[in-house]
Amino acid sequence: MRILQLKPHLTTSELSVKLSNCSNIHHRSYWQILLSVSFNPNKKADEYASFLGVTTSKIYKVVELYNKEGAGFTENIKWGGRRSETSHMSFEEEEKMMNDLKSQANDGKVIVAKHIRKVVEAKVGKAVSDDYIWDLFKRHNWKKKMPRPEHPKKDKVAQDAFKKNSPKSWQPSE
């Protein structure tokens, strides 16, 4: 395990002011980590993690970002969430496409996931996963609706005849 040390971007008192003035709960935990490291130098990350209740990887990541970017490191943090660099289309493009598909469905054309996948792949220019399609549905509040399944060999005439000839009530045989 390596020993953590902070570069002198801010003093300990400036770090505590940043911590007390921070309104974002995530950023608050970052400033708390940095303040702990500045108050207790030359300790290992797992020691900080045990009394702060976070993972050692988070300790390393926050200290690394602070040392690399300085006091304004919280302005550029992008952890988790949907990123535009890795998504196939922007939310607005997806919304426009889904509205076009919704108008096709309203015109009486049946819209199924396979059809939507082909439309998306044509728009994106590459193959997309099933998960992307289902996440797309969830992002735009589309529900999976389908008709009640019917047996392909059902005989409506035989069903009606059975209904007519069956007794109104059933009594078990003794």
Rounded distance, CA 122 to CA 2, Å? 50
> Is it the case that residue 137 has pLDDT exceeding 70?
yes
Q: What is the pLDDT of residue 77?
A: 75
* Same domain assignment for residues 22 and 62: yes
Last residue of a domain, one of 25, 50, 76: 76
Q: What is the pLDDT of residue 84?
A: 67
pTM > 0.85: yes or no: no
Kindly compute the dihedral angle of the four CA atoms of residues 95, 96, 102, 108, in this order, to the nearest 10 degrees. Answer: -160
* Same domain assignment for residues 31 and 72: yes
Residue 70 in any domain: the answer is: yes
Condensed to tens digits (0 to 9), the pLDDT of residues 51-74 reads: 899 999 999 999 999 999 888 888
> Is it the case that residue 15 has pLDDT exceeding 90?
no
Q: Coil, helix or strand for 76?
A: helix
In the chain, % of residues over pLDDT 70: 92
* Same domain assignment for residues 20 and 45: yes
Residue 132 in any domain: the answer is: yes
Residue 36 in any domain: the answer is: yes
Condensed to tens digits (0 to 9), the pLDDT of residues 154-170 reads: 899 999 998 888 877 77
Tokens 């109104």 found at: 168
Residue 110 in any domain: the answer is: yes
* Same domain assignment for residues 69 and 22: yes
Q: What is the pLDDT of residue 22?
A: 87
* Same domain assignment for residues 72 and 95: no
* Same domain assignment for residues 31 and 62: yes
* Same domain assignment for residues 97 and 57: no
Higher-scoring residue by pLDDT: 139, 169: 139
In the chain, % of residues over pLDDT 90: 29
Which DSSP string corresponds to 88-123? Answer: SS-HHHHHHHHHHHHHHHHTT----HHHHHHHHHHH
Residue 55 in any domain: the answer is: yes
Residue 162 in any domain: the answer is: no
Residue 153 in any domain: the answer is: no
Distances (CA, A) of 72 to 31, 42, 65: 11, 24, 10
* Same domain assignment for residues 97 and 49: no
> Is it the case that residue 44 has pLDDT exceeding 90?
no
Q: What is the pLDDT of residue 149?
A: 78
* Same domain assignment for residues 65 and 24: yes
> Is it the case that residue 43 has pLDDT exceeding 80?
yes
Residue 81 in any domain: the answer is: no
> Is it the case that residue 153 has pLDDT exceeding 70?
yes
Query: Which residues constitute the domain of residue 43?
Result: 12-76
Higher-scoring residue by pLDDT: 112, 81: 112
Total number of domains in the chain: 2
Q: Average pLDDT, stretch 6-13?
A: 88
